Protein backbone atom coordinates (compact mmCIF):
# COMPACT_ATOMS: atom_id res chain seq x y z
CA UNK A 1 0.00 0.00 0.00
CA UNK A 2 1.41 3.40 -0.99
CA UNK A 3 1.63 5.99 1.76
CA UNK A 4 -0.22 9.32 1.50
CA UNK A 5 2.18 12.25 1.12
CA UNK A 6 1.26 14.77 3.81
CA UNK A 7 3.67 17.42 2.46
CA UNK A 8 1.58 18.17 -0.61
CA UNK A 9 -1.77 18.48 1.17
CA UNK A 10 -3.62 21.71 1.93
CA UNK A 11 -5.26 22.17 5.33
CA UNK A 12 -8.74 21.28 4.06
CA UNK A 13 -7.37 18.03 2.61
CA UNK A 14 -5.58 17.21 5.85
CA UNK A 15 -8.75 17.94 7.83
CA UNK A 16 -10.69 15.51 5.64
CA UNK A 17 -7.89 12.94 5.83
CA UNK A 18 -7.69 12.90 9.64
CA UNK A 19 -11.48 12.99 9.95
CA UNK A 20 -11.64 9.80 7.87
CA UNK A 21 -9.20 8.29 10.37
CA UNK A 22 -11.57 9.11 13.22
CA UNK A 23 -9.73 12.20 14.48
CA UNK A 24 -10.94 15.76 15.02
CA UNK A 25 -10.45 18.09 12.05
CA UNK A 26 -8.17 20.46 13.99
CA UNK A 27 -5.54 17.72 13.92
CA UNK A 28 -5.18 18.45 10.21
CA UNK A 29 -4.17 22.03 10.97
CA UNK A 30 -1.65 20.78 13.50
CA UNK A 31 -0.09 18.43 10.96
CA UNK A 32 0.07 21.23 8.38
CA UNK A 33 1.83 23.52 10.85
CA UNK A 34 4.35 20.85 11.88
CA UNK A 35 5.36 20.23 8.25
CA UNK A 36 5.08 23.62 6.58
CA UNK A 37 6.00 25.94 9.45
CA UNK A 38 8.30 23.86 11.65
CA UNK A 39 9.75 21.76 8.82
CA UNK A 40 9.73 18.40 10.60
CA UNK A 41 10.29 15.25 8.55
CA UNK A 42 9.35 12.60 11.12
CA UNK A 43 5.75 12.03 12.19
CA UNK A 44 7.09 11.02 15.63
CA UNK A 45 8.09 14.67 16.19
CA UNK A 46 4.46 15.87 16.02
CA UNK A 47 4.21 16.02 19.80
CA UNK A 48 0.82 17.78 19.86
CA UNK A 49 -0.69 14.57 18.43
CA UNK A 50 -1.32 11.61 20.70
CA UNK A 51 1.25 8.81 20.47
CA UNK A 52 -1.50 6.43 19.40
CA UNK A 53 -2.46 8.68 16.48
CA UNK A 54 1.18 9.23 15.50
CA UNK A 55 1.78 5.48 15.40
CA UNK A 56 -1.36 4.98 13.32
CA UNK A 57 -0.43 7.86 10.99
CA UNK A 58 2.99 6.33 10.24
CA UNK A 59 1.29 3.29 8.72
CA UNK A 60 -0.80 5.44 6.37
CA UNK A 61 1.24 8.54 5.50
CA UNK A 62 4.71 9.98 4.95
CA UNK A 63 6.41 13.37 4.82
CA UNK A 64 8.14 14.11 1.50
CA UNK A 65 11.77 15.00 2.20
CA UNK A 66 14.05 14.66 -0.82
CA UNK A 67 17.56 13.48 0.01
CA UNK A 68 20.27 16.12 -0.37
CA UNK A 69 23.08 14.51 -2.38
CA UNK A 70 25.25 17.58 -2.69
CA UNK A 71 25.40 21.31 -1.90
CA UNK A 72 27.67 23.44 -4.08
CA UNK A 73 28.56 26.88 -2.75
CA UNK A 74 29.54 29.79 -4.97
CA UNK A 75 32.89 31.45 -4.35
CA UNK A 76 31.66 34.62 -6.09
CA UNK A 77 28.37 35.10 -4.23
CA UNK A 78 26.58 33.48 -1.30
CA UNK A 79 24.36 31.36 -3.55
CA UNK A 80 24.13 27.59 -3.08
CA UNK A 81 23.00 24.86 -5.46
CA UNK A 82 21.21 21.83 -4.00
CA UNK A 83 21.20 18.47 -5.77
CA UNK A 84 18.31 16.28 -4.57
CA UNK A 85 17.47 12.63 -5.04
CA UNK A 86 13.75 11.77 -5.04
CA UNK A 87 12.09 8.57 -3.83
CA UNK A 88 12.33 6.97 -7.29
CA UNK A 89 16.03 7.80 -7.63
CA UNK A 90 15.50 10.75 -10.00
CA UNK A 91 17.60 13.86 -9.42
CA UNK A 92 16.67 17.55 -9.50
CA UNK A 93 18.36 20.84 -8.59
CA UNK A 94 17.24 23.92 -6.64
CA UNK A 95 19.09 27.14 -5.84
CA UNK A 96 19.31 29.32 -2.74
CA UNK A 97 19.93 32.99 -3.61
CA UNK A 98 20.60 35.42 -0.73
CA UNK A 99 20.86 39.07 -1.69
CA UNK A 100 20.62 41.93 0.79
CA UNK A 101 17.64 41.18 3.03
CA UNK A 102 16.08 38.80 0.51
CA UNK A 103 16.41 35.05 0.86
CA UNK A 104 15.14 33.53 -2.39
CA UNK A 105 14.75 29.87 -3.34
CA UNK A 106 14.48 28.89 -7.01
CA UNK A 107 12.35 25.73 -7.32
CA UNK A 108 12.11 23.09 -10.02
CA UNK A 109 8.71 21.91 -11.26
CA UNK A 110 9.70 19.07 -13.61
CA UNK A 111 12.47 16.50 -13.99
CA UNK A 112 14.01 17.79 -17.19
CA UNK A 113 11.96 19.83 -19.65
CA UNK A 114 10.23 19.05 -22.97
CA UNK A 115 10.71 22.48 -24.53
CA UNK A 116 14.41 22.42 -25.50
CA UNK A 117 15.16 26.16 -25.37
CA UNK A 118 18.59 26.57 -26.96
CA UNK A 119 20.11 28.62 -24.14
CA UNK A 120 18.92 26.32 -21.31
CA UNK A 121 20.80 23.28 -20.00
CA UNK A 122 17.68 21.67 -18.50
CA UNK A 123 16.25 21.10 -21.99
CA UNK A 124 19.30 18.96 -22.80
CA UNK A 125 18.02 16.45 -20.22
CA UNK A 126 14.84 15.75 -22.14
CA UNK A 127 11.62 15.37 -20.20
CA UNK A 128 11.15 12.63 -17.61
CA UNK A 129 8.11 13.61 -15.53
CA UNK A 130 6.31 16.30 -13.57
CA UNK A 131 7.08 16.78 -9.90
CA UNK A 132 4.35 16.16 -7.34
CA UNK A 133 3.22 18.94 -5.01
CA UNK A 134 5.15 17.27 -2.20
CA UNK A 135 8.32 17.05 -4.29
CA UNK A 136 8.09 20.75 -5.14
CA UNK A 137 7.55 21.76 -1.52
CA UNK A 138 10.13 19.23 -0.32
CA UNK A 139 12.85 21.21 -2.10
CA UNK A 140 11.89 24.43 -0.33
CA UNK A 141 11.54 22.86 3.10
CA UNK A 142 14.86 21.02 2.75
CA UNK A 143 16.69 24.22 1.76
CA UNK A 144 15.08 26.07 4.67
CA UNK A 145 16.17 23.40 7.15
CA UNK A 146 19.70 23.54 5.81
CA UNK A 147 20.23 27.30 5.77
CA UNK A 148 18.27 27.89 9.01
CA UNK A 149 16.98 31.25 7.83
CA UNK A 150 13.54 32.57 6.93
CA UNK A 151 12.80 32.33 3.22
CA UNK A 152 11.42 35.64 1.89
CA UNK A 153 10.94 34.92 -1.83
CA UNK A 154 10.18 31.91 -4.01
CA UNK A 155 10.59 31.72 -7.78
CA UNK A 156 9.41 28.85 -9.96
CA UNK A 157 12.31 29.28 -12.39
CA UNK A 158 14.26 26.07 -11.86
CA UNK A 159 14.16 22.92 -13.96
CA UNK A 160 11.07 22.52 -16.15
CA UNK A 161 8.20 24.65 -17.47
CA UNK A 162 5.86 25.46 -14.54
CA UNK A 163 2.81 25.97 -16.77
CA UNK A 164 3.10 22.36 -18.02
CA UNK A 165 2.69 21.24 -14.41
CA UNK A 166 0.04 23.89 -13.73
CA UNK A 167 -2.12 22.26 -11.06
CA UNK A 168 0.77 21.05 -8.91
CA UNK A 169 2.68 24.34 -9.16
CA UNK A 170 -0.34 26.48 -8.26
CA UNK A 171 -1.23 24.21 -5.36
CA UNK A 172 2.36 24.30 -4.08
CA UNK A 173 2.39 28.10 -4.33
CA UNK A 174 -0.87 28.33 -2.36
CA UNK A 175 0.62 26.15 0.41
CA UNK A 176 3.77 28.33 0.47
CA UNK A 177 1.51 31.38 0.79
CA UNK A 178 -0.67 29.90 3.57
CA UNK A 179 -0.43 31.93 6.81
CA UNK A 180 -0.41 28.70 8.83
CA UNK A 181 2.81 27.61 7.11
CA UNK A 182 5.68 29.58 5.60
CA UNK A 183 3.35 32.57 5.11
CA UNK A 184 5.27 33.99 2.15
CA UNK A 185 3.36 36.87 0.56
CA UNK A 186 1.81 36.25 -2.86
CA UNK A 187 3.79 39.30 -4.04
CA UNK A 188 7.00 37.42 -3.19
CA UNK A 189 6.09 34.28 -5.17
CA UNK A 190 6.85 34.35 -8.91
CA UNK A 191 5.82 31.80 -11.52
CA UNK A 192 7.71 31.86 -14.81
CA UNK A 193 6.67 30.64 -18.25
CA UNK A 194 8.25 30.48 -21.69
CA UNK A 195 4.86 31.34 -23.15
CA UNK A 196 2.17 28.69 -22.77
CA UNK A 197 -0.47 31.19 -23.86
CA UNK A 198 -3.55 29.20 -22.82
CA UNK A 199 -2.12 28.78 -19.32
CA UNK A 200 -1.41 32.50 -19.02
CA UNK A 201 -5.10 33.06 -19.73
CA UNK A 202 -5.98 30.37 -17.19
CA UNK A 203 -3.92 32.17 -14.54
CA UNK A 204 -6.08 35.22 -15.18
CA UNK A 205 -9.35 33.27 -15.21
CA UNK A 206 -8.40 31.44 -12.00
CA UNK A 207 -7.45 34.79 -10.40
CA UNK A 208 -4.10 33.37 -9.31
CA UNK A 209 -2.55 36.02 -7.01
CA UNK A 210 1.13 35.28 -7.63
CA UNK A 211 3.49 37.27 -9.83
CA UNK A 212 4.04 36.23 -13.44
CA UNK A 213 7.31 36.32 -15.36
CA UNK A 214 7.33 35.77 -19.12
CA UNK A 215 10.52 34.55 -20.84
CA UNK A 216 10.55 36.65 -24.00
CA UNK A 217 14.17 36.30 -25.18
CA UNK A 218 13.50 37.29 -28.80
CA UNK A 219 11.50 40.02 -30.48
CA UNK A 220 10.38 38.33 -33.70
CA UNK A 221 8.99 34.90 -34.52
CA UNK A 222 11.95 33.76 -36.63
CA UNK A 223 14.45 34.36 -33.83
CA UNK A 224 12.12 33.01 -31.18
CA UNK A 225 11.38 29.86 -33.20
CA UNK A 226 15.14 29.23 -33.26
CA UNK A 227 15.79 29.95 -29.58
CA UNK A 228 12.50 28.60 -28.19
CA UNK A 229 10.73 26.00 -30.36
CA UNK A 230 7.52 26.36 -28.31
CA UNK A 231 7.03 29.63 -30.23
CA UNK A 232 5.94 27.54 -33.23
CA UNK A 233 2.89 26.54 -31.18
CA UNK A 234 2.30 29.78 -29.27
CA UNK A 235 3.78 32.59 -31.34
CA UNK A 236 4.66 36.08 -30.15
CA UNK A 237 1.34 37.63 -31.15
CA UNK A 238 -0.63 34.97 -29.27
CA UNK A 239 1.57 35.35 -26.19
CA UNK A 240 1.26 39.16 -26.22
CA UNK A 241 -2.53 38.88 -26.48
CA UNK A 242 -2.53 36.44 -23.54
CA UNK A 243 -0.37 38.83 -21.48
CA UNK A 244 -2.70 41.75 -22.29
CA UNK A 245 -5.64 39.58 -21.20
CA UNK A 246 -3.78 38.85 -17.95
CA UNK A 247 -3.07 42.58 -17.45
CA UNK A 248 -6.68 43.54 -18.01
CA UNK A 249 -8.32 40.77 -16.01
CA UNK A 250 -6.07 40.88 -12.93
CA UNK A 251 -4.88 44.51 -13.16
CA UNK A 252 -1.38 43.17 -12.57
CA UNK A 253 1.95 43.90 -14.17
CA UNK A 254 4.07 41.20 -15.83
CA UNK A 255 7.85 40.88 -15.70
CA UNK A 256 9.47 40.24 -19.07
CA UNK A 257 12.69 38.21 -18.92
CA UNK A 258 15.12 38.75 -21.79
CA UNK A 259 18.26 36.59 -21.92
CA UNK A 260 20.68 38.72 -23.93
CA UNK A 261 22.88 36.72 -26.32
CA UNK A 262 25.58 38.57 -28.24
CA UNK A 263 24.93 38.66 -31.97
CA UNK A 264 21.62 36.79 -31.68
CA UNK A 265 19.01 39.01 -30.01
CA UNK A 266 20.86 42.28 -29.36
CA UNK A 267 20.52 43.85 -32.82
CA UNK A 268 19.17 47.36 -33.47
CA UNK A 269 15.96 45.80 -34.80
CA UNK A 270 15.60 43.91 -31.50
CA UNK A 271 15.84 47.21 -29.63
CA UNK A 272 13.07 48.65 -31.79
CA UNK A 273 10.86 45.53 -31.52
CA UNK A 274 11.38 45.21 -27.77
CA UNK A 275 10.42 48.83 -27.22
CA UNK A 276 7.26 48.23 -29.25
CA UNK A 277 6.35 45.08 -27.30
CA UNK A 278 6.78 46.87 -23.98
CA UNK A 279 4.31 49.56 -25.07
CA UNK A 280 1.64 46.94 -25.71
CA UNK A 281 1.55 45.40 -22.24
CA UNK A 282 1.87 46.52 -18.63
CA UNK A 283 5.31 45.20 -17.76
CA UNK A 284 8.77 45.55 -16.32
CA UNK A 285 11.85 44.18 -18.05
CA UNK A 286 14.76 42.13 -16.72
CA UNK A 287 17.77 41.99 -19.02
CA UNK A 288 19.77 38.84 -18.23
CA UNK A 289 23.24 38.36 -19.75
CA UNK A 290 23.46 34.85 -21.21
CA UNK A 291 25.01 32.21 -18.92
CA UNK A 292 27.15 29.65 -20.80
CA UNK A 293 26.04 26.01 -21.02
CA UNK A 294 27.65 22.90 -22.52
CA UNK A 295 26.78 22.11 -26.10
CA UNK A 296 26.05 25.68 -27.24
CA UNK A 297 28.46 28.23 -28.68
CA UNK A 298 26.46 31.34 -27.79
CA UNK A 299 28.39 34.33 -26.45
CA UNK A 300 27.65 36.36 -23.36
CA UNK A 301 27.53 40.12 -24.09
CA UNK A 302 30.25 42.21 -22.48
CA UNK A 303 29.35 45.18 -20.31
CA UNK A 304 29.71 47.64 -23.17
CA UNK A 305 27.31 45.65 -25.38
CA UNK A 306 24.88 45.28 -22.50
CA UNK A 307 25.00 48.99 -21.64
CA UNK A 308 24.45 49.93 -25.28
CA UNK A 309 21.38 47.70 -25.53
CA UNK A 310 20.02 48.89 -22.17
CA UNK A 311 20.36 52.57 -23.09
CA UNK A 312 18.75 52.13 -26.49
CA UNK A 313 15.62 50.39 -25.29
CA UNK A 314 12.86 52.97 -25.01
CA UNK A 315 11.20 52.09 -21.71
CA UNK A 316 8.16 54.34 -21.99
CA UNK A 317 7.99 54.64 -18.23
CA UNK A 318 8.64 50.95 -17.63
CA UNK A 319 11.27 49.75 -15.18
CA UNK A 320 14.26 48.04 -16.83
CA UNK A 321 16.73 46.10 -14.69
CA UNK A 322 19.94 44.32 -15.59
CA UNK A 323 19.95 41.04 -13.65
CA UNK A 324 23.39 39.55 -13.30
CA UNK A 325 22.57 35.98 -12.30
CA UNK A 326 24.07 34.63 -9.10
CA UNK A 327 25.82 31.27 -9.10
CA UNK A 328 27.29 31.28 -12.61
CA UNK A 329 30.53 29.78 -11.25
CA UNK A 330 28.65 26.72 -9.94
CA UNK A 331 26.26 26.31 -12.90
CA UNK A 332 23.38 27.55 -10.79
CA UNK A 333 22.50 30.69 -12.75
CA UNK A 334 19.58 31.25 -15.11
CA UNK A 335 19.49 28.47 -17.72
CA UNK A 336 22.30 26.37 -16.20
CA UNK A 337 20.46 23.76 -14.08
CA UNK A 338 21.07 20.17 -15.17
CA UNK A 339 20.84 16.88 -13.27
CA UNK A 340 22.22 13.65 -14.73
CA UNK A 341 19.48 11.01 -14.57
CA UNK A 342 21.06 8.47 -16.89
CA UNK A 343 21.38 5.09 -15.24
The pLDDT confidence band at residue 1, using thresholds 50, 70 and 90, is low
Residue 284: partners with Cβ closer than 8 Å, 6 or more residues away: 253, 254, 255, 256, 318, 319, 320, 321
Contact 85, 66 (CB under 8 A): yes
Q: Is the pLDDT of residue 266 over 60?
A: yes
Cβ atoms within 10 Å, residue 228: 24
32 and 134 in one domain? no
Q: Which residue has the higher pLDDT, 23 or 342?
A: 23
> Do the domain assignments include residue 335?
no
> Do the domain assignments include residue 101?
yes
CA distances from 152 to 45, 267, 327 (A): 26, 37, 19
Q: Is the pLDDT of residue 342 over 70?
A: no
247 and 153 in one domain? yes
What CATH number does the domain containing 126 carry? 3.20.20.70
Give the pLDDT mean for 12-37.
96
197 and 137 in one domain? yes
CA distances from 251 to 15, 111, 222, 244 (A): 34, 33, 31, 10
Contact 300, 292 (CB under 8 A): yes
> Do the domain assignments include residue 340?
no
54 and 38 in one domain? yes
What CATH number does the domain containing 42 carry? 1.10.150.530
Find the angle CA(105)-CA(226)-CA(316) to the nearest 5 degrees: 65
Region of 334 please: left (phi>0), alpha (psi -120 to 50) or beta: beta
The pLDDT confidence band at residue 323, using thresholds 50, 70 and 90, is confident
Q: Is the pLDDT of residue 59 over 90?
A: yes
The C-alpha atoms of residue 277 and residue 222 are separated, in whole angstroms, by 16
**Residues with active-site annotation:** 93, 334
> Do the domain assignments include residue 136?
yes
Q: Is the pLDDT of residue 84 over 90?
A: yes
Q: Is the pLDDT of residue 317 over 80?
A: no
- The pLDDT, as a whole number, for residue 314 is 74
Q: Is the pLDDT of residue 343 over 60?
A: no
Region of 327 please: left (phi>0), alpha (psi -120 to 50) or beta: left
47 and 192 in one domain? no
Find the angle CA(1)-CA(22)-CA(46) to the nearest 5 degrees: 75
Which one of 17, 44, 62 terminates a domain?
A: 62
Give the pLDDT mean for 84-109.
96
Give the pLDDT mean for 14-35.
96
Q: Is the pLDDT of residue 255 over 60?
A: yes
117 and 261 in one domain? yes
Task: Encode 233-301 in three state secondary structure.
Answer: CCCHHHHHHHHHHHHHHHCCCEEEEEEECCCCCCCHHHHHHHHHHHHHCCEEEEEEECCCCCCCCCCCC
pLDDT tens-place string over residues 107-147: 999 999 999 999 999 999 999 999 999 999 999 999 999 99
Structural domain boundaries, residue 159: 67-330
Q: What is the DSSP letter of 116?
A: -
Average of per-residue pLDDT values in the chain:
95
Q: Is the pLDDT of residue 316 over 80?
A: no
pLDDT tens-place string over residues 183-236: 999 999 999 999 999 999 999 999 999 999 999 999 999 999 999 999 999 999
| CA neighbor of 56 nearest in space, from 8, 15, 4, 9 | 4
Give the pLDDT mean for 25-29.
96
pTM of the model: 0.96
Partners of 156 in beta bridges: 191
| CA neighbor of 7 nearest in space, from 142, 115, 159, 112 | 142
The C-alpha atoms of residue 281 and residue 248 are separated, in whole angstroms, by 9
Q: Is the pLDDT of residue 293 over 70?
A: yes
- Taking the CA atoms of residue 17, residue 21, residue 26 and residue 29 in that order, the dihedral angle to the nearest 10 degrees is -40
Which one of 62, 83, 101 terminates a domain?
A: 62
Report the number of distinct structural domains present in the chain. Answer: 2
The C-alpha atoms of residue 227 and residue 323 are separated, in whole angstroms, by 20
Which one of 62, 84, 100 terminates a domain?
A: 62
Q: Is the pLDDT of residue 167 over 80?
A: yes
Amino acid sequence: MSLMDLTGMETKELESFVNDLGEKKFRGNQIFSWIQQHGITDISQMTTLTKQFRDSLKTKAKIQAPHIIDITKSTETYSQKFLFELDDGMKIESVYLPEGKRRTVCLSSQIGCPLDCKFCATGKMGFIRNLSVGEILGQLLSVKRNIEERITNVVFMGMGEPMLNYNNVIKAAKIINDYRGLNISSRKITISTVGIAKKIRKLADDKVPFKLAFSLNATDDKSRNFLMPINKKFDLEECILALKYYNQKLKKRVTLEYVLIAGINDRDEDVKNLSSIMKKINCNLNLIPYNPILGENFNRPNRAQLTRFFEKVSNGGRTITVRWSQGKDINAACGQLYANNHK
